[in-house]
């Protein structure tokens, strides 16, 4: 049962009926068992919020607080329309693990004990954060968390510390200009991400041929050919990229090109924060998360361990370690489905040509004989009809 379920609102959608039955509240697990056995709902939901009177109309419920919830859906990941269902499941799993490790644990300091992770039963994951410090957060405060994850309002001038470096002399006086440094290794949040991503880029470039690196500098970061070649020589011809990693300082470039290369390198760091990086991934997480879910303090979400009526897969609870090897088309199949054979037919063949369900590979054909454990999924998700 969900934590403090007697303080939650429940809601249900039934077979062959329109609309949602709500609000529903339960005083005991026995009541829940009896209700589900008698009603057999197609879709089951419960509130992320806690109420004094969960069965009352919304104006009379008396809100007590709410879990912080992230609802990641593969359908909202950019480019997901080009992926089949199985590929979407893999992609959204990557985003979920990134959300958990890079943001919830690293940035906000939550532990695995503070979180509950569920496969949504369809094509995504739900992450519930339950902690006294976030229970009473307003919608605006929760949106601030969303803004952090998506990198809204990131200012590189704030993220990168700076140093003044000598670029010349005039009348026995040093001419200095401000140059960025990489954030210290013990920094957190976006500063840590900036340093790590810059280090990863420098290491990746160190294993590439010069022409490929120069080409990437030009195409991805808008740096001219001559500057890109000079920057490459400074970084890799003389091995100064290692000094950047060791000391985090950009005061390592040739005297005559110093500010040009420092300025160009800063442009590269800006590029690092935009391409195939945490900021873009953060945007995809929240794109995948359906932002209103996280900001909503009174949201309904799928009931754990119920069966999703659109896929007939179970809303399964998972640990972080289990996620790595979790296969929804095996681990989220209802256990009561048997090997009994059924005949199905596709009016239109789905895009996916072959699929593995419960460790059995099926080649999709116009007419098929399949075991019961594969039938509900193929009917609900792939468009088959039962003969």
pLDDT at site 285? 61
Return the structure tokens found at 65: 């607080």
**Do 178 and 230 share a domain, yes or no?**
yes
**Do 78 and 219 share a domain, yes or no?**
no
pLDDT at site 37? 93
Backbone phi and psi for residue 379, each to the nearest 5 degrees, phi listed first: -75, -50
Q: Is the pLDDT of residue 372 over 80?
A: yes
User: Domain range holding 347?
Assistant: 335-386
**Is 331 a catalytic site residue?**
no
Q: Is the pLDDT of residue 223 over 60?
A: yes
**Do 188 and 250 share a domain, yes or no?**
yes
In a domain, 330, yes or no: no
**Do 128 and 162 share a domain, yes or no?**
no
Q: Is the pLDDT of residue 246 over 90?
A: no
Return the structure tokens found at 235: 């970084």
In a domain, 46, yes or no: yes
In a domain, 23, yes or no: yes
Residue 27 or 87, more confident? 27
User: Catalytic: which of 71, 102, 114, 234?
Assistant: 71
**Is 113 a catalytic site residue?**
no
Assign 333 a pLDDT band (cuts: 50, 70, 90).
Answer: very high
pLDDT at site 94? 87
Q: Is the pLDDT of residue 33 over 70?
A: yes
In a domain, 66, yes or no: yes
pLDDT at site 61? 94
**Do 94 and 122 share a domain, yes or no?**
yes
User: Catalytic: which of 75, 147, 290, 330?
Assistant: 290
In a domain, 83, yes or no: yes
Assign 304 a pLDDT band (cuts: 50, 70, 90).
Answer: very high
Q: Is the pLDDT of residue 287 over 60?
A: no
| HSE-up (13 A, CA, CB side) for residue 368 | 23
**Do 248 and 288 share a domain, yes or no?**
no
In a domain, 86, yes or no: yes
**Do 24 and 145 share a domain, yes or no?**
yes
Assign 85 a pLDDT band (cuts: 50, 70, 90).
Answer: confident
**Do 53 and 168 share a domain, yes or no?**
no
Assign 293 a pLDDT band (cuts: 50, 70, 90).
Answer: confident
In a domain, 169, yes or no: yes
**Is 363 a catalytic site residue?**
no
Residues 6+ apart with CB under 8 A from 74: 80, 83, 88, 89, 91, 92, 123, 124, 288
**Do 143 and 287 share a domain, yes or no?**
yes
In a domain, 277, yes or no: no
pLDDT mean over 370-385: 93
For 154-191, how does the pLDDT look when each residue is reduced to its tens digit (9 = 90+)?
777 788 777 777 767 778 888 777 767 788 888 888 88
Cα 357 from chain centre: 25
Q: What angle do CA 124, 77, 329 make, to 5 degrees?
A: 30
pLDDT at site 202? 87
User: Catalytic: which of 73, 102, 234, 296?
Assistant: 73
What is the CATH number for 126? 3.90.920.10
The total number of structural domains in the chain stands at 3
DSSP state of 224: -
**Do 115 and 24 share a domain, yes or no?**
yes
pLDDT mean over 42-51: 96
pLDDT at site 148? 86
In this structure, the strands spanning 49-51 and 317-318 are unpaired
266 CB burial (10 A radius; 0-12, 13-18, 19+)? middle
pLDDT mean over 142-161: 82
Of 112-121, 222-231, 252-261, minimum mean pLDDT range: 252-261
**Do 341 and 217 share a domain, yes or no?**
no
385 close to 343: Cβ distance less than 8 angstroms: no
**Do 148 and 293 share a domain, yes or no?**
yes
Mean predicted lDDT score pLDDT of the chain: 86
């Amino acid at each position: 049962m969900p934590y403090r379920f007697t303080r939650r609102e429940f809601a249900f959608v039934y077979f062959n009926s329109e609309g949602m039955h709500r609000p529903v509240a339960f005083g005991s697990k026995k009541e829940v068992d009896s209700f589900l056995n008698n009603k057999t709902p197609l879709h089951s939901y419960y509130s992320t919020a806690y109420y004094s009177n969960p069965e009352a109309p919304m104006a009379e419920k008396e809100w007590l607080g709410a879990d912080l919830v992230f609802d990641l859906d593969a359908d909202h990941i950019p480019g997901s329309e080009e992926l089949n269902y199985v590929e979407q499941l893999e992609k959204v799993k990557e985003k979920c693990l990134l959300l958990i490790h890079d943001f919830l644990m690293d940035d906000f300091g939550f532990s695995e004990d503070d979180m509950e992770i569920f496969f949504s039963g369809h094509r995504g994951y739900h992450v519930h954060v339950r902690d006294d410090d976030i229970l009473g957060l307003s919608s605006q405060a929760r949106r601030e968390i969303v803004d952090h994850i998506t990198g809204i309002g990131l200012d590189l001038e704030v993220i990168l510390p700076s140093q003044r470096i000598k670029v010349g002399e005039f009348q026995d006086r040093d001419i200095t200009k401000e140059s960025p440094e990489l954030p210290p290794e013990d920094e957190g949040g976006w500063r840590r991400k900036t340093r790590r991503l810059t280090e990863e880029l420098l290491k990746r470039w160190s294993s590439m041929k010069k022409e490929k690196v120069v080409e990437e500098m030009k195409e991805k970061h808008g740096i001219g050919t001559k500057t890109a070649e000079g920057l490459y020589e400074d970084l890799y011809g003389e091995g100064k990229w290692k000094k950047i990693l060791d000391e985090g300082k950009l005061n390592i470039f040739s005297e005559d090109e110093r500010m040009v290369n420092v300025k160009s390198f800063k442009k590269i760091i800006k590029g690092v924060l935009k391409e195939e990086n945490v900021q873009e991934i953060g945007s995809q997480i929240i794109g995948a998360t359906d932002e209103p879910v996280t900001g909503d303090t009174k949201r309904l979400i799928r009931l754990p361990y119920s069966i999703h009526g659109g896929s007939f897969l179970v809303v399964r609870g998972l640990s972080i370690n289990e996620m790595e090897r979790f296969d929804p088309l095996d681990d989220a199949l209802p256990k009561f489905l048997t090997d009994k054979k059924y005949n199905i037919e596709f009016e239109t063949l789905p895009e996916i040509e072959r699929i593995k369900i419960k460790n059995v590979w099926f080649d999709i054909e116009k007419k098929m004989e399949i075991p019961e454990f594969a039938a509900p999924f193929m009917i609900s998700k792939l468009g088959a009809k039962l003969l």
